[in-house]
Amino acid sequence: MPAGRPRKADPGTLYTLAHQFYWDLRAIAEGRDRFKFDQSEYERLFAQSEGMIGYSPQEKAKLQRRNEAQVDREIRAERLRPTQRQNRIRELERENTRVIREYLAQEGATKKIKVPGEPNVVKALLSPDTTPERIREVCKGALMKRRAEIKPGVFEEIDGPAWPFPAGSPLPNYLSQFAEEYVEALHDRRFPRCEVSKRPSNRLKQFWFLSRALAGALYGVRTRTAINLVGSQRPEEIFYGSRQAKTPRKRVRRKY
């Protein structure tokens, strides 16, 4: 065991939590895209596509060879009679066409909706005059009741996100639970205080600072310790500095 006092939290665990809180805070400020599926539009597009799916001669020949090979395997395994060979090939052709029709209909019936951000919520969360009571009050509006169809013809009232973050986000719950530690981090001398109008990137620095502080509060770690354990680079900065974000270099043959 290494010398010194044992750590209360693993840096990797703190980073994972801070990473999630950071993107949720950004979604509240900037909004996010949600996808809505229209069942009636799907059924219309699926019915409309009947008989409209065509294959090139090369694709048709390839599918024919694949279907025949599958039917031959089923005959050898005695799962199919030889007399049923042609009917089974036609059935596979219809299944292939149906899969393509379903995919195209789902794609056409799924619409992307831009959910705007919540500037009033961000203002309350970042105000230097905010209090733990105010944080808890704001978090009460993070969820709302909505009527959802659980199964065909059966509707039920469920809790859905009122803020533009993913469903099931633990951010509002942890903000309410550790509101005192959150407000304390707002008044930390290392908290970025430069005006966002003068330096827009400062807003992201503020979100990253508070995300690390909130992650540390979950494990009883002080703000400064959590910030030092997680590191100063924001998640997108780590990606931009990684090898995956760089343009691949051309291979040059060496001349000997």
Find the DSSP H helices in the chain: 11-30, 39-48, 57-76, 85-109, 119-126, 132-139, 171-177, 179-186, 201-218, 223-230, 235-240
CA distance 162 to 164: 7
Q: Is the pLDDT of residue 6 over 50?
A: no
Tell me the per-residue pLDDT of 69-122, one tens digit each, with 9 for 90 and over.
999 999 999 888 989 999 999 999 888 888 888 998 999 999 888 889 999 999
Q: Is the pLDDT of residue 5 over 70?
A: no
Q: Is the pLDDT of residue 41 over 80?
A: yes
Residue with tokens 């599918």: 63
* pLDDT for residue 250: 63
Q: Is the pLDDT of residue 254 over 70?
A: no
**Confidence tier at 144 by pLDDT (50, 70, 90):** confident
Query: Strand 154-161 vs strand 143-151: parallel, antiparallel, or unpaired?
Result: antiparallel
CA distance 101 to 11: 48
Q: Is the pLDDT of residue 1 over 80?
A: no
pLDDT, greater one: 38 or 186: 186
Please enumerate in sequence order all residues whose Cβ is within 8 A of that of 145, keeping only pairs 6 or more positions apart, or say none: 157, 158, 159, 160
